[in-house]
A and B are shown apart, each in its own frame.
Chain A
């Protein structure tokens, strides 16, 4: 929808970048402390003269949630070995699926001769909601009634790169902003000394499609995801060079600021004031980011709950970091964990590698939900768990058993932030090939997440190349049934 009548966020962003009113107010020699305070958290009565593109902003309507943690299971977890028990698969194991189930479906690797594959896992029903869980996820039993179970998810594309880009940006081609970018563009961030959109990675390698997944696309790069590496320098170039102590760096930043201010006085361009403030924030970040990463601050009981070990990079550490990030006001945290691409084969099969990766993520995923809840953070934090697609009921003919990519009926889960706890939403057919009840599309989930954050997904737009783009492209229906 074209919003020429309203002042859109985009116009605000443009105004922020021009900041013309600054000229009238900036005067001469704004002290560095005053500038530093421009970005200070919730400064009562402070009159900002510089519009910070990351300043917290109000969405379209009152939000239920204010931050998001997205646990991205990169590669496509098998819903049929984790969340959906299918007795019919056991019954018809080794048989070809009925043709009627396959019509209109496309697969990446299947040739049409693959037969149905029963899950070797034992399933049980847990919690009051009675969600099915395989024995691979014992810790998930503890959160089964905190979680909203989303079955019958659909996406559009069946290759990893495009599908990952699709979940993140609503389009299979790279080039559009990711969800975290849209959210920080819309809401800003409450973290004054950390980026608003942080990306963490665990597993043997990074996700396919790399930084396209947290790119800000055509939005200003202010809103791109900032990868935090494990170790003492989480952000690239965060550390001062050898020989520059904290005190020397302070002296340095003061010198840079003063010279910038002299120039500002001469030319009157508010962009210089923004840069002065950016140096202050960078200086703050140099201490706040390493402090954030210092997990040994946490009590042993918390570390045990997650299975985290300070100094030893892991998914569990990242889950704990995610909590620390939202605690500090970071808006959007994304955790990638590889590799869920279990096609069968010596390094990616359902016999060895699925159980192994489940062990890596089970405890910490559950712990994060529990920890957020016990700290009262779950109410306004959306937690999403899932991959770019699911896997087929048919096994693939490789050396060991595995399943192909399946885009028509997979599962994800969501917790907190307004998602109904203990709800099982959606049902797939008896073979798990298609959805029979409450099927839903990635765009619907995106619309719902934005809705909980206070946005009408059709109105959170950015004008680029003559068109108002949005996360949900021209699709997306809010899943009113799954939110309280």
Chain B
């Protein structure tokens, strides 16, 4: 590694380059004897020790040297070279890594990195052999390798040929096949996440014909719980949850997406189509409802609903997450590393990161729940279409009526297409009969002071500014001089306007109609034009603030005012109630045609009411239908830029959506590329990553670890595959077979490799302690949801319904004490308490405790691999959690009722929990326990009662029930119970 700050010494060192140290000869000799494989031997060394400063990232590149490409490594650096093929002595790289001078030495001692003597020898030998660069293994196209020729008896399919071949090199062979009980439980747990029933087990044990195992698989893969089990794995990657995340973390409706995943997997939707619909279902021609629901994959990002948030910031976060998730799930690449700077190890530039970003940058969602899709069944859709048609009809009727009315109006009253404009009157005088002062303010309003008469008449005179007047607008306004700020002069700021009148020349306006933005109960604004001086308009409110601006409009028959006729508006108040005069007001007039002034119109009102009724009906109907969040593209895409250091406020160069250059090109069309292009590119035959990454993850689910250990990093820093040919064979087989997941699972599960015993092998342990060669199966603790499912199934409480809204099984009190939102947990009643774990409502800020305790991730970001911990909190959960106790009680009762004596009860319990019979020692231990516990409970019947929660049993029956409940609790707590053997 060539380190920062060494620019000049690098050049000097190259000039004074000496021949390499003789001390290294022996190791070199060893290294030189074998053929160096760049991908296996050299690239990891360069990547780990050199690329950080001499890799793809220009920003952190030192000495203008890059060693990740042959062009960079062979470049003429001014008469000398980092690498001269076949000539280590002339290669400065060799000189620098062997230098004993700490100023010269690479990697620099202060970097904390170093090369061993063997590694140095390897690098030297590589240069000697020509310093050839190969493409990184996972970026090469997938080619179907031939099967290894060696055969062994244990082989069942080509997988075994590849695995056995490697085992033989280590003088090992596949382990014996697991016994049938183990096999059936393994297959059930892996493919369904449920235990086999006793009948399933007995049928399989009894099937002595050949092909029993294959017939078992036929049944299991066709079982609809398969979609739940593998759907759950996919939902991990989709970061599916039932709330929005961050601070407020309110509920969202996304379960239709969850159900889509389950259905798609049960239907064996080919993985390429599965991908396209989720990444770009909305961009397919005339997308179906299902294809739109599928886009929910990328709507599982968080929404921050806290006050004072910058929506653009969180929209940006969501887009970044979509890019990184796509990179992790399909490409197995850590593209997120290039968000702030060009990737330090993989050939992904920052510019290319934002090219990927551009694909996802034009969604309509802006840190928002919308857009959503109402998810309707066929029946729902028919009803909605019917309502929509009725609404269209009603709209047309209304529009038609208005058109006719306009046409029938006198020319002067027809809609002239202009908005209503109001002229604020420029008063000549403003007088109060009671002697109040009326002062004009700059905004044309009048503020009233002085005497507040019991009754008063304000007369405002002005030169009419228009050729006719058809309406008067009265604004009543607040002012600090008024009681409570007004707008009236009454103690509470109210007023009562008894009558308003307009006189222009000799003509007196006749009022047709009045409206106001608010009228007090029993004081409607129409009272101000009803000719009755004992009624009027007032503005008090039942609750809230009354002291605000109010506006009223009065429509009159047209009054001719040509030639700036002198006009007067009169406002009358009192005497009952007394002193309820207006405190501040402003007047305006208009000449707008009547059709625009909202005159009451019974026919129009009827048509409008009909439309509203239909619209309300539709809203109500749709509200009761489930909805789900979907991706919708903006009509005009947003411009995308490089974001400098990943900061959404610092925009750099504009970028166009495109694939990174080190991967196959995306179409030849110069046209702007869309998410649909991206989706098709991900699953094109040429894409070297998607199939390898996906198969590797599937493999990991069946064996505990993938063929590539770094299942999330297929880049240069990842580990190479343990069985590269097997991985490529599976990938090409899968693609050729049409990306069928069910076929892939079947292929793996029928292999002898999968069917091996998981018992540790002492012979293999020394050679292969981490079981990378697959000389046995691996015991795996089941996922959190399956822990729950197992307990429910063993106890017989399990409710097998698939899909629907998430449910609320019992959880301990006080979970929300530690969250902002003291959300309720409406504990489900009846069968919903016993639904599978994947249906448990998932609140991101306070996930269901049992799930978290058993390592369910929080789904803030994609999860491609769950960790498996083993903690005392898990013990407490299994022993004391309400769900587990309910199961223990139900199982205890089941043992009591289905078997009659101790031994047969123990046998039944083992069959239900472990799909096997107990050993003699296990039976003995449980018999001893049961006897002691029984005696104990007989002596203390109160405890037996409270533990078993029995309301019917007493005496020996009660002690018996409590005893078998404790036994049941014990079995649910065994390691084997929550382990796939």
- A residues bordering B, Cβ < 8 Å? 1-5, 17-18, 20, 23-24, 53, 106-109, 158-162, 173-175, 195, 199, 201, 205-212, 215, 218-222, 224, 226-227, 229, 231, 235-245, 248, 251-252, 255-256, 258-260, 262-263, 266-269, 271-272, 274-276, 278-279, 281-282, 285-286, 336, 404-405, 459, 464-467
Contact = CB atoms under 8 A, between A and B. Distances in A.
Given A207-B819, A236-B814, 6 more contacts: A20-B769, A220-B869, A236-B876, A237-B876, A267-B760, A282-B879
Contacts of B246: 159, 161-162, 174, 209
Interface string B946-981: 111000000000000010001001100111100101
Contacts of A252: 879, 966, 969-970
Contacts of A278: 870-872, 874-875
Interface string B857-896: 0101100100111111111110111000100000000000
B95 interface: no
Contact of A248 (B759, B858, B933): B933
Of residues A205, A278, A286, which shows the largest number of chain B Cβ atoms within 10 Å of its Cβ? A278
A210 B819 contact: yes
A24 B765 CA distance: 9
A258 B718 CA distance: 42
Nearest to A268: B760
Q: Across the A-B interface, give the 10 residue pairs with the lowest CB-CB distance, nearest first.
A: A243-B947, A108-B308, A466-B713, A210-B845, A161-B247, A466-B334, A268-B760, A210-B819, A282-B875, A242-B946
B817 A210 contact: no
A175 B759 contact: no
Contact of A260 (B758, B929, B932, B975): B975
Nearest to B718: A466
A236 B817 contact: no
A159 B308 contact: yes
Contact of B769 (A18, A248, A260): A18
A226 B871 CA distance: 12
Contacts of B321: 173
Contacts of B317: 173
Contacts of B48: 2, 4
Contact of B304 (A5, A53, A161, A464): A161
14 contacts: A173-B321, A175-B861, A206-B818, A219-B867, A220-B855, A221-B853, A237-B880, A243-B945, A255-B926, A259-B922, A268-B759, A278-B871, A282-B875, A466-B717
A5 B820 contact: no
A199 B885 contact: no
Contacts of A106: 310
A460 to B, nearest CB: 13
B849 interface: yes
Nearest to B885: A241
B618 interface: no
Contact of B844 (A174, A219, A260, A467): A174
Contact of B820 (A2, A209, A226, A266): A209
Interface residues on B, range: 35 or more
Nearest to A200: B818
A159 B852 contact: no
Interface string B804-822: 0000000010111111111
B57 to A, nearest CB: 13
A174 B860 contact: yes
B208 interface: no
Contacts of A272: 975
Q: Which of A107, A211, A220, A248 has the most CB of B within 10 A?
A: A211
Contacts of A205: 819-822
A267 B867 contact: no
B306 A211 contact: no
Contact of B860 (A18, A173, A266): A173
Helix, strand, loop or mixed for chain B's interface? Answer: loop
B64 to A, nearest CB: 23
Given A245-B943, A285-B876, A262 B812 contact: no
Contacts of B817: 201, 206, 227, 229
B257 to A, nearest CB: 21
Nearest to A214: B818
Contacts of B393: none
A245 B328 CA distance: 50
Given A174-B844, A243-B943, A2 B879 contact: no
Contact of B247 (A159, A227, A268, A274): A159
B281 interface: no
Interface string B702-736: 00000000101101011000000000000000000
B272 interface: no
B75 interface: no
Interface in B836-851: 844-847, 849
Nearest to B779: A269
Contacts of A158: 308
Contact of B876 (A235, A248, A336): A235
A49 B760 CA distance: 17
B111 interface: yes
A1 B770 CA distance: 26
A252 B852 CA distance: 25
Given A221-B855, A255-B925, A465-B336, A161 B111 contact: no
A360 B919 CA distance: 61
Nearest to A14: B770
B245 A174 contact: yes
B762 interface: yes
Contact of A206 (B302, B819, B945): B819
Contacts of A220: 855, 867, 869
B781 interface: yes
A262 B979 CA distance: 15
Given A159-B308, A209-B820, A266-B759, A17 B975 contact: no
Given A159-B247, A222-B869, A467-B334, A238 B880 contact: yes
B599 interface: no
Contact of B849 (A236, A267, A465): A236
Contacts of B870: 17, 222, 271, 274-275, 278
B912 interface: no
A210 B969 CA distance: 32
Nearest to A210: B845
Given A466-B710, A466-B717, A210 B820 contact: yes
B114 A5 contact: yes
B775 interface: no
Give the most central of B819, B880, B881, B975: most A CB within 10 Å: B975
A160 B155 CA distance: 59
B247 A23 contact: no
Interface string B756-796: 00111010010001100000000101000000000000000
Contacts of B875: 275, 278-279, 281-282
B945 A262 contact: no
A9 B101 CA distance: 31
B420 interface: no
A206 B820 contact: yes
Contact of B762 (A18, A23, A206, A227): A23
A267 B304 contact: no
A30 B249 CA distance: 48
Given A211-B818, A256-B970, A174 B306 contact: no
A183 B174 CA distance: 42
Interface in B275-318: 302, 304, 306-310, 317
A244 to B, nearest CB: 6
B309 A108 contact: yes
Contacts of B333: 466
A150 B979 CA distance: 50
Contacts of B861: 173-175
Contact of A159 (B309, B779, B881, B948): B309
Contacts of B921: 262
A4 B337 CA distance: 19
Contact of B871 (A218, A221, A269, A465): A221
B112 interface: yes
